[in-house]
């Protein structure tokens, strides 16, 4: 009896999730999609960050993507909770709306994208703050997974194929993102100088810009 009820509940949740999947859109301006890919491809390791969104009707529009100071490896990327709290405090004091910071993203580097147990746990932890969380997972190839989680009135998540709005990203802007990555992203294994040399060796600027320019079909 108990297990039948469980099956019934799961079945209803599945139906509800399927319905929501057709209603909810996550819209990423091309500039921000390219910015996300640039961050991803400027390191050979994982990297993560946050973003802001604005809800218009049933569409969630991504309004910014950014990184914070973090430590990374080939399989992990970690932002200290205190650094995040300080950044949010500064963001609010500068006129930003803390409630809009409900997007988190991370890269799997050159590995395939999939929601790992660590990813699921991170989402549960982050959902203790905002009632809604948009999660993006990308890799160097431009593969992208997106899910939208809500914590109230019941925990629920739907998978969404993001809509990319077309725009542009200049080489100067990519160079600026490269400087930001170099100053904020550190690894415990390699010192900054060899890492930058490695980045230049593996991702020359023309490769990076050409690849980002041709990612629309992703
Ligand atoms: Zn992941």
Answer yes or no: is 122 within a domain: yes
Centre of ligand 1 to C-alpha 141, Å, is: 15
Q: Given this model, what pLDDT does residue 46 score?
A: 93
Answer yes or no: is 69 within a domain: yes
Centre of ligand 1 to C-alpha 36, Å, is: 15
Answer yes or no: is 102 within a domain: yes
Answer yes or no: is 3 within a domain: no
CA distance 91 to 93: 6
Centre of ligand 1 to C-alpha 3, Å, is: 31
CATH number for position 71: 3.40.140.10
Cβ-in-10-Å burial (0-12, 13-18, 19+) of 188 comes to exposed
Give percent above pLDDT 90 in the chain: 41
Answer yes or no: is 7 within a domain: no
* pTM as predicted: 0.69
Centre of ligand 1 to C-alpha 112, Å, is: 9
Q: Given this model, what pLDDT does residue 188 score?
A: 64
Residue range 29-49: average pLDDT?
Answer: 94
Reported as a single tens digit per residue, the pLDDT across 139-184 is: 999 999 999 999 888 888 899 888 887 666 666 777 788 888 888 8
Answer yes or no: is 95 within a domain: yes
| Rounded alpha-carbon distances, angstroms, from residue 40 to 137, 141, 163, 178, 200 | 10, 10, 19, 10, 14
Centre of ligand 1 to C-alpha 5, Å, is: 32
Centre of ligand 1 to C-alpha 104, Å, is: 11
Answer yes or no: is 4 within a domain: no
Q: How many C-beta atoms surround the C-beta of residue 147 within 10 A? A: 18
Split into its structural domains, the chain has a count of 1
Among the listed residues 167, 147, 185, 170, the one whose alpha carbon sits nearest the alpha carbon of residue 70: 185
Reported as a single tens digit per residue, the pLDDT across 90-142 is: 999 999 998 999 999 999 999 999 999 999 998 988 887 778 999 999 999 99
Centre of ligand 1 to C-alpha 119, Å, is: 5
Centre of ligand 1 to C-alpha 183, Å, is: 23
For residue 146, the enclosing domain spans 25-213
Answer yes or no: is 49 within a domain: yes
């Amino acid at each position: 009896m108990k297990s039948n009820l469980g099956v019934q509940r799961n079945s209803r949740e599945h139906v509800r999730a399927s319905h929501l999947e057709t209603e909810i859109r996550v819209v990423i301006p091309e500039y921000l999609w390219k910015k996300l890919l640039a961050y991803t491809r400027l390191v050979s390791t994982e990297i993560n960050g946050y973003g802001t969104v604005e809800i218009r009707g049933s569409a969630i529009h991504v309004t910014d993507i950014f990184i914070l100071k973090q430590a990374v490896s080939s399989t992990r990327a970690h932002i200290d909770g205190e650094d995040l709290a300080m950044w949010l405090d500064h963001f609010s004091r500068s006129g930003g709306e803390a409630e809009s910071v409900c997007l988190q993203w991370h890269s799997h580097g050159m590995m395939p994208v999939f929601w790992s147990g660590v990813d699921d746990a991170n989402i549960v932890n982050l959902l203790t703050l905002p009632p809604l969380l948009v999660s993006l997972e990308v890799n160097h190839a431009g593969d992208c997974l997106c899910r939208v989680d809500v914590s109230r009135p019941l925990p629920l998540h739907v998978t969404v194929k993001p809509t990319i709005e077309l725009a542009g990203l200049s080489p100067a802007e990519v160079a600026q993102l490269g400087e930001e990555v170099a100053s904020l992203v550190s690894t415990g294994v390699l010192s900054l100088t060899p890492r930058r040399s490695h980045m230049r060796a593996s991702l020359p600027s023309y490769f990076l810009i050409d690849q980002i320019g041709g990612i629309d079909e992703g």
